[in-house]
């Protein structure tokens, strides 16, 4: 499973941190407080079992040791549309586990594409990851980060501007470098 984690870490460094797509990612990344879990799940049921295990581990571990979790699931072969359904199911699972307001989930997918954009648009890389993954975040940490960051609402627009300014070719080259 190490190659999946290694490539994911390269993605976090090259895109998320170096391009400042998430201004809150550098600290837990550098402090090694991100848990990476590669699941072998090939069905929604098995993925949700692993998701619940990771939810439990996250809430039972102090944030000083574990800030956030990336549940990487490269073996399901989900289209973006099917993947977005998985993200919705993950949100429902958080509610069922009575963790709403404690944990939230964000989804990333290698084929992420904004509505009304072309697949090759550099802006799509704000939400593209090398493998499909569910990002489990602590609500308290998100709230604290939002409270201390000026103009948090501008982050998505700034990310799109950053990637468009970088240009399609440079973004694709960074992407290819992840897998070398």
115-135 pLDDT tens trace: 888 988 999 999 999 999 999
CA gyration radius, the chain: 16
Q: DSSP code of 104?
A: E
pLDDT of residue 112: 95
68-112 pLDDT tens trace: 999 999 999 889 999 999 999 999 999 999 999 999 999 999 999
d(CA 93, CA 79): 21
Number of compact structural domains in the chain: 1
pLDDT of residue 86: 95
pTM comes to 0.94
Q: What percentage of residues in the chain have a pLDDT greater than 70?
A: 100
Whether the per-residue pLDDT at 43 is higher than 90: the answer is yes
Beta strands (DSSP E) in the chain are 34-38, 68-72, 103-108, 133-138
Question: Chain-wide mean pLDDT for the chain?
Answer: 94
d(CA 86, CA 102): 20
Domain that holds residue 99: 2-178
pLDDT of residue 80: 93
157-178 pLDDT tens trace: 999 999 999 999 999 999 999 9
């Amino acid at each position: 499973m190490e190659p999946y984690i290694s490539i994911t870490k390269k993605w976090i460094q090259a895109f998320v941190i170096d391009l400042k797509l998430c201004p809150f990612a550098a600290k837990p990344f550098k402090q090694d407080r991100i848990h990476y879990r590669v699941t072998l799940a090939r069905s929604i049921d098995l993925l949700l079992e692993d998701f619940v295990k990771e939810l439990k581990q996250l809430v039972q571990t102090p944030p000083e040791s574990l800030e956030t979790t990336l549940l990487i699931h490269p073996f399901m072969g989900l289209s973006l549309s099917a993947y977005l359904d998985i993200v919705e199911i993950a949100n429902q699972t958080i509610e069922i586990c009575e963790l709403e307001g404690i944990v939230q989930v964000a989804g990333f997918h290698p084929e992420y594409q904004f509505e009304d954009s072309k697949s090759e648009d550099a802006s799509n890389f704000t939400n593209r990851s090398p493998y499909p993954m569910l990002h489990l975040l602590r609500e308290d940490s998100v709230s604290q980060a939002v409270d201390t960051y000026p103009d948090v609402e501008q982050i998505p627009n700034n990310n799109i501007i950053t990637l468009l300014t970088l240009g399609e070719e440079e973004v694709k080259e960074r992407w290819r470098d992840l897998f070398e």
